[in-house]
Amino acid sequence: MAHSVSSSDSLSTPARLTATATVKLPRLLLVSVGLVYILAGLFFRDPWKTDDVVGLATMLTALRDGGSAMLLPQIGVLAHAQDGPLITWVGAFFIWAFAPFIEFFTNRPDAAIIASRLPNFLWFGILTASIWYGTYLLGRRPEPQPLALPFGGEPTVRDYGRMIADAALMLIVATVGIVWRMHETSEVPALIAFQALAFYSVARMLDHPASGSITLGFALGAAFLTRGWIGALPIMLAIPCIFLPRNCLWRQKHWLALSAAICAALILAWWIPARLANGYWIQSWVLWNTSSFGWPQYREVLSTLRDLPWFLWPTWPLALLAVWRWRAWLTAPHIWIPLMLAAWPLIIMLFLADAFEPEYSLMAVPAAVLAAFSLPTLRRGVVNSLDWFAVMCFSLTTATVWLGWIALQTGWPEQISHNIARQTRGYDVFISWPAAFIAALGTLAWVALVRWRLHSKPAGLWRGTVLSAGGLIVTWLLLVTLWMPALDYVRSYRGVSAQLAAALDAHRKPGECVRALAVGTGQRASFLVFNDIDFSYESNCTLVVQQTTAHNIATGAAAYSDSATVLWEGRRGADRHEVFRLLRLGNP
């Protein structure tokens, strides 16, 4: 749908570009980028602590126990009263539906691990579709249109909107902080997806308020069921602020009542039966949500301001530039909508006791959208400088990953090899030739992309975003191919879990229960996932699994009681501190 732009509006707009800058980005390239992005690192690895393996453990517990475990996430008998049940429901369904077929090709635990990651395709699909279509709807509006040229040659409304949408999609893919999180079986990929869906819904309400408000209600309810108040509150507070007077959406404000009704219905449909099923779980959930908020603390604020720029690289400088360049158009939908969706997560973060990457992730989508709208305001020299920065930055990261891998395999350079050996103590070095071949293909693809930029000199304004997205994907691809065996060795609990299972088989008497002592949530979830080891809360259990440290054992601080006998002691090969012990209380 085309919009007319008045001459006064055109003269004041900061956007300057010609039709050649909006040349169409091939759809095959967009699809290929998306597939490589989500496939790389999703499979052929173990779940790592904490969020990754915890999410999987709640899915397996729901399938195994059913009942309240399906309604209220649990890790075995441990009530995981933190986030929400949505990813548990979806993940359990995918394991139930697909794991039996995957078991024809692998063992049962690994089949469940593979099936649990299939929902990531759903979350990534919602994210990419929502950010593209939402940005496209905003980019077609009259406010962001570029300056009309004296003799013509400016882009059409459709081409301009499509170019901005393509850039936003490339920028969200290029965001450094979410690349690993999008491959977890945790609440983070779903939360990012539902915030993107909320963004699209608000943009849709500009011309189709009924359908947009319905979708918005589902997005808000799903965000709450994904991460409770910590995940939903920033989005819920941003939405009313978007519908302010003197804003294009003000006349659609009454449709928010429908969104609120749908959101409340979804929440109550879970809350009422959950409260009836397990009041203790709900009380713990309320306590966790409320205790997570507090007055800003100096150290926490500094930590957030230190880490957030790295997490949102490379979109945040461009997002700030967009706000500055479009400052005369601050209440226009293409700036105001993503600005509110970015501002409220930042404000809420300052009042969180322990803000980290799951909270940072709520700024990724609006920052990418704002960054896309900064591109038409940049001068050609600035755009070219950004292109070269992307080329140098990701060429360096690619070379660094290869150099580290060579040091791991050959022992040269010696200093790098020594540092790696300290972190991978006990690891048996080997070369996976299929992985090395894929890594080589990825490197060649990056070389080809740089060569395309050097020789073709493309006019498309999206070229810098393609370089950034391509560079990050290649770097990620190298990490999850060349380094995955070593990363699995360092971060997986599969080996120590198997040792504990063997020790329990050897020492547990028929019907004897085992309980945990100071075992972390991630470790407890790992033992459940890999070997179906669950811990009891019965106080009369004579077998105890203890998590401690080598220092505590050496100093005697790890002693449980004088009557405890150590039946087994184990650790991950690369971990120099963490130690697990199986104890028997009383007389052996």
Same domain, 398 and 514: no
- What one-letter code names the amino acid at 282? I
User: What percentage of the chain reaches a pLDDT higher than 70?
Assistant: 97
Same domain, 334 and 346: yes
Same domain, 29 and 170: yes
Per-residue pLDDT tens over the stretch 91-147: 999 999 999 999 999 999 999 999 999 999 999 999 999 999 999 999 999 999 998
Structural domain total, the chain: 3
pLDDT surpassing 80 at residue 12? no
DSSP state of 240: H
Burial of 363 (0-12, 13-18, 19+ CB in 10 A): buried
pLDDT surpassing 80 at residue 166? yes
Structural domain of residue 287, as residue ranges? Answer: 7-42+117-376
Cα-Cα-Cα-Cα dihedral sign, residues 148, 149, 150, 153 = negative
Same domain, 142 and 241: yes
Query: Is the Cβ–Cβ distance between 499 and 569 less than 8 Å?
Result: no
Same domain, 447 and 533: no
| pLDDT interval class at 588 (50, 70, 90) | low
Same domain, 125 and 186: yes
Q: Which of residues 461, 491, 521 is at a domain's end? A: 491
State the pLDDT at residue 456. 82
Mean local confidence (pLDDT), 357-369: 97
Same domain, 362 and 483: no
| pLDDT interval class at 457 (50, 70, 90) | confident
- Residues whose CB is less than 8 angstroms from the CB of residue 10 and which lie 6 or more positions away in sequence, other chains included: 145, 147, 148
Indicate whether 300 belongs to any domain.
yes
Q: Which of residues 349, 376, 403 is at a domain's end? A: 376
Indicate whether 89 belongs to any domain.
no
Distance CA 133, CA 139 (A): 10
| pLDDT interval class at 11 (50, 70, 90) | very low
Compute φ and ψ for 140, nearest 5 degrees: -85, -10
Q: Which of residues 328, 347, 376 is at a domain's end? A: 376
Residues in the chain: 588
Provide the CB-side half-sphere exposure for 209 (13 A, CA): 13
Indicate whether 260 belongs to any domain.
yes
Indicate whether 161 belongs to any domain.
yes
Indicate whether 105 belongs to any domain.
no
Same domain, 218 and 351: yes
Same domain, 315 and 230: yes
Indicate whether 87 belongs to any domain.
no
Grouping H, G, I as helix, E, B as strand and the rest as coil, residue 92 is helix
Per-residue pLDDT tens over the stretch 479-495: 999 999 999 999 999 99
Biggest distance spanned by C-alpha atoms of the chain: 95
Same domain, 499 and 487: no
Indicate whether 59 belongs to any domain.
no
pLDDT surpassing 80 at residue 381? yes
Same domain, 466 and 548: no
Indicate whether 175 belongs to any domain.
yes
Same domain, 502 and 484: no
